Amino acid sequence: MSVKLEDVLKDENLIKNIEEIAKDTALLHGVLMRTKETPNSPEVVSYAPITLFPTPVPTALFHQALAVQTHFNRLVDRVSQDPTFLEETLASTIKVDDFTARLFSIYKQVQQEHLPQSIVLGLNRSDYMLDHRPGGGTSLKQIEINTIAASFGKCLTQISLASRTPDVHRHILKVANLPEECDRVLDNNPAAGLARGLAKAWQLYGSERAVVMFLVEEVQRNIYDHRYVENELWKRNIPVIRRQFEDVCRTGSLDQSKRLFVDGREIAIVYFRNGYMPQNYTSERSWEARLMMERSLAVKCPDISTHLAGTKKVQQELARPGVLERFFPDEPETVAQIRATFAGLYTLDMGEDGDKTVAMALANPDQYVLKPQREGGGNNIYGSEICEVLKNLKNSSERTAYILMDKIQPVPVQNYLLRPGAPLRPNSCLSELGAFGAYVRKGKDMVFNECVGHLLRTKSSEHADGGVAAGVAVLDNPLLV
């Protein structure tokens, strides 16, 4: 970190002066959210939570994350196209995890029917933390890869607002008398990349009347993040509608060639900003709606197989020796680049390997994170709780609902978190860097494969599990050093 930023962080008067400027600037640049009180009304809006200053990130590690992203795109896609791998990998998990089992049964059904659509649109976000080992330097380690709702709709992770925050931080740096730092905050526009992917897939679908449907939640606090992508599509004369599971249940149908219709409109693409956690399926009918969409000719972002490719169990399996080679038999360089980002991941399947994992976790619980097959933050288990859970499940197949992962140890950085209604205090913070990947495949041809941008999210280090949907992490930008 530059010495000067450190000095500014200690200057309480200056920070006080900047606070209001920072909030106003966030509003001016469209870093917006609806309020908790009125999530479905645009009458009152607020700024979206953001750090006061960008966070130093080593340039080389930042570029490493971006550079490996197109490989991750291909990996996710290849995993999604490998039924034997998915079936074998998830076999133990689906016996004990009802949610994954339901997704898997939709997958099986679609497979048996032979999916009518050969166009695939993927949007994923690979998340990393910078692991610091005393004496061992700092390295980029993947936390997970999100293949569905890669910018969670629930609360405040943002694919679009990420393009608005660089200008906010640059302005703050100037006001804080650090103008020379501005060039280290890069432009970023993942939503434009997503819109290009959506537009490409829409063209390939090939019907001018057909619309892109955003499948959204009832609570729409994060709507401005969606609107940005929607408006990018409208600019290209691609019509967009927003619907909920309930609407698809009520008015959705397939015609003889499995074209999907909702409210009388033909759907070219279903873009899922919902459907990634059990609570999203409020009734049997939501599941029926998901099945109908998956069976349809509409392009799904993501389709059910790509959704499953993003499970934590798949992540753990990919980290086993030899498994990446299965997907890239002739590309040792690609394998090496991907593998370099993997942290230690361990199976809890029944058997010797799983027993070893349990023993390891019980001996040193503080070095690991225990993860169920869930999304949206707030589900992981740490420290002594790992012992409690594993002691109970030790010899039960229920342990296979989880995987174990090495705990990544980033160095905390001082910053201030701006949140509506919360007093500004200095915080010891941890950051997570995400790289957005978008791709479109038609049959065997990848017609679009890009890293379309990044996202830095930062939380107070008190919050072990910075699930953004849990409302903990805030928007940030890398300050390249």
Sketch the per residue contact string, 125 through 164, with ligand ADP: x for CB under 6 A, - otherwise. --x---------------xx--------------------
Is residue 225 near Mg ion by the rule CB under 5 A?
Answer: no
φ/ψ of 15, rounded to 5, equals -60, -45
Sketch the per residue contact string, 140 through 159, with Mg ion: x for CB under 5 A, - otherwise. ----x-x-------------
Total number of residues that touch ligand ADP (CB under 6 A): 20
- Backbone CA torsion sign across 58, 59, 64, 65: positive
Give whichever of 169 and 374 is closer to ligand ADP, judged by the CB atom. Answer: 374
Pairing mode of beta strands 50-51, 413-418 = antiparallel
Is residue 377 near ligand ADP by the rule CB under 6 A?
Answer: yes
Give whichever of 24 and 98 is closer to ligand ADP, judged by the CB atom. Answer: 98
Total number of residues that touch Mg ion (CB under 5 A): 3
Give whichever of 131 and 144 is closer to Mg ion, judged by the CB atom. Answer: 144
**Contact predicate 412/44, CB 8 Å:** no
Question: What is the rounded CA–CA span in Å between residue 92 and residue 97?
Answer: 9
Half-sphere exposure of 163 (CA within 13 A, CB side): 16
In the list ligand ADP, Mg ion, none, the entry touching 465 (Cβ below 5 to 8 angstroms by class) is: ligand ADP
Q: Of 371, 374, 399, 459, which residue is the catalytic one?
A: 371
The DSSP code for 304 is H
Stretch that binds Mg ion, among 14-22, 29-37, 198-206, 367-375 (CB under 5 A): 367-375
Q: Determine whether 188 is an active site residue.
A: no
Stretch that binds ligand ADP, among 89-97, 289-297, 357-365, 376-384 (CB under 6 A): 376-384
φ/ψ of 325, rounded to 5, equals -60, -30
Residue 452 CA: distances (Å) to CA of 60, 98, 218, 388, 437: 18, 34, 28, 41, 6
Residue with tokens 């229920």: 398
Is the bond leading into 166 cis (omega within 30 degrees of zero)?
no
Is residue 310 near ligand ADP by the rule CB under 6 A?
Answer: no
Q: Of 46, 80, 144, 232, which residue is the catalytic one?
A: 144
Q: Determine whether 457 is an active site residue.
A: yes
Question: What is the rounded CA–CA span in Å between residue 192 and residue 51?
Answer: 23
Judged by DSSP in three states, 21 sits in: helix
Q: Of 243, 290, 295, 312, which residue is the catalytic one?
A: 312
Give whichever of 162 and 199 is closer to ligand ADP, judged by the CB atom. Answer: 162
Judged by DSSP in three states, 409 sits in: coil
Give whichever of 61 and 115 is closer to ligand ADP, judged by the CB atom. Answer: 61
Question: What is the rounded CA–CA span in Å between residue 244 and residue 247?
Answer: 5
Give whichever of 39 and 378 is closer to Mg ion, judged by the CB atom. Answer: 378
Q: Determine whether 376 is an active site residue.
A: yes
Is residue 467 near ligand ADP by the rule CB under 6 A?
Answer: yes
Q: Determine whether 125 is an active site residue.
A: yes
Number of other residues whose CB lies within 10 A of the CB of residue 330: 7
Q: Where are the alpha helices (DSSP H) in 142-275?
A: 165-175, 190-205, 223-235, 245-251
Sketch the per residue contact string, 432 through 461, with ligand ADP: x for CB under 6 A, - otherwise. x-----------------------------
Q: Determine whether 164 is an active site residue.
A: no
φ/ψ of 125, rounded to 5, equals -130, 120
Judged by DSSP in three states, 414 sits in: strand
Residues taking part in catalysis: 125, 144, 146, 151, 312, 371, 375-376, 457
Contact residues: ligand ADP, CB under 6 A: 127, 143-144, 343, 369, 371, 374-377, 379-380, 405-408, 432, 465-467
List residues near Mg ion by CB under 5 A: 144, 146, 375
